[in-house]
Amino acid sequence: MPQRRQASRPEESAGARTDSSASYVYGIVPGDVEMAPGIEGVGEPAGQVRLVTFGQIAALVSDVEADRPLGRPADLQAHQRLLDQTAMEVPVLPFRFGAVLTSPEAVVEELLKPNHDTFVDGLQQLEGLAQYVIKARYDERAILTEILEESREAAELRRRIAGLPADATRNERIRLGEIIERTIAGKRETDTETVVEDLLDLCEQVVLRNPSHERDAAHVAVLMEQGRQAELEQAVDRLASQWSGRVEMRLLGPLAPYDFVTTS
């Protein structure tokens, strides 16, 4: 992974290229980092990741065949894995999808040079920070029980369709589904506010993500100091204990700060 460069160590080699190669760009890092050898990126076979440097910044790149289709699941996983691991060591401006340019020279002329100052500012703002994602999901049985206890109409519909074929109770099932969906949406809004309030003092920034599942209770990305990860874990554990049996909590990170970086 990229690490801060030691003065006694040489620059990374650009590596061999072929006439049919293009440069796949993963993201931007400070110019004073160096790559550990043998880091693999996208492609079959996987390209070796290296740095293309200009001024105070560098692009994480690897060679790909210019005519090779990209965006396969394995490529997306390799892309994200590299950037998440990089974020554990140095600031990184991640590209959500890799940019492909014709050559390392094009990376400099078309990407690094015209955006140099903007990238420098972005990296400075991310120094010492990383993204974490909190995912909370309702237990299916628990949330259904909660809804039936709170909604007389839902409880009555559930009683009426019990033991009857779906075709004979189609309207009742549709109505019950609507009540459940609307009620979960309301609970999600309230519970997301609880998550944000509990974490706000720990975080530099917070982004509310769209639900990734119909039973999501909260889906929140936070940007915070990596040194405070233990405090974040404790806060999430407290929420998990408070919502035990009702909501399952997950904490992901540190991750590349996709939700806090905008790249064209």
Domain boundaries, the chain: 3-127, 131-260
**Contact indicator for 135, 208 with CB cutoff of 8 Å:** no
Q: In the block, which residue shows the tokens 């309207």?
A: 171
- Each residue of 129-146: pLDDT tens digit? 999 999 999 999 999 999
93 token code pair: 């401006």
| Dihedral over Cα of 259, 260, 261, 264: its sign | positive
Q: How far apart are CA 8 and CA 175, in angstroms?
A: 70
Structural tokens at position 156 = 């009555």
Predicted local distance difference test score (pLDDT) of residue 7: 37
Pairing relationship of beta strands 129-138 and 216-225 according to DSSP bridges:
antiparallel
Question: Above 60 in pLDDT, residue 6?
Answer: no
**From the centroid of its chain, how far is CA 2?**
19
Closest Cα partner for 41 from 111, 107, 98? 98
**Token pair belonging to 150:** 């709170």
Contacts of 188 (CB under 8 A, 6+ apart): 211, 216, 217, 218
Question: Which pLDDT score, from 0 to 100, does residue 4 have?
Answer: 57
Give me the pLDDT at residue 26, please: 96
Displacement of CA 208 from its chain's centroid (Å): 12
Confidence of residue 262 (pLDDT cuts 50, 70, 90): low
Q: Which CATH class is domain 131-260?
A: alpha beta
Q: Tens of pLDDT along 132-189?
A: 999 999 999 999 999 999 999 999 999 999 989 988 999 999 999 999 999 999 999 9
Contacts of 70 (CB under 8 A, 6+ apart): 24, 42, 64, 98, 100
> For residues 255 and 84, is the Cβ–Cβ distance under 8 A?
yes
Q: Which two tokens stand for residue 53?
A: 């440097």
Mean pLDDT of the chain: 90
Residue 11's pLDDT is what? 41
Give the residue-averaged pLDDT of 86-103. Answer: 91
Question: In this model, does residue 14 exceed pLDDT 70?
Answer: no
Confidence class of residue 264 from pLDDT cuts 50, 70 and 90? Answer: very low
Tens digits of residue pLDDT in 21-74:
899 999 999 999 988 888 999 988 888 999 999 999 999 999 998 877 777 889
Rounded CA separation 62/27 (Å): 11
Rounded distance between C-alpha atoms, residue 119 and residue 90, angstroms: 14
pTM: 0.84
- Model confidence pLDDT, tens digit, residues 203-239: 999 999 999 999 999 999 999 999 999 999 999 999 9
d(CA 174, CA 43): 46
Say whether pLDDT at 15 is over 60: no
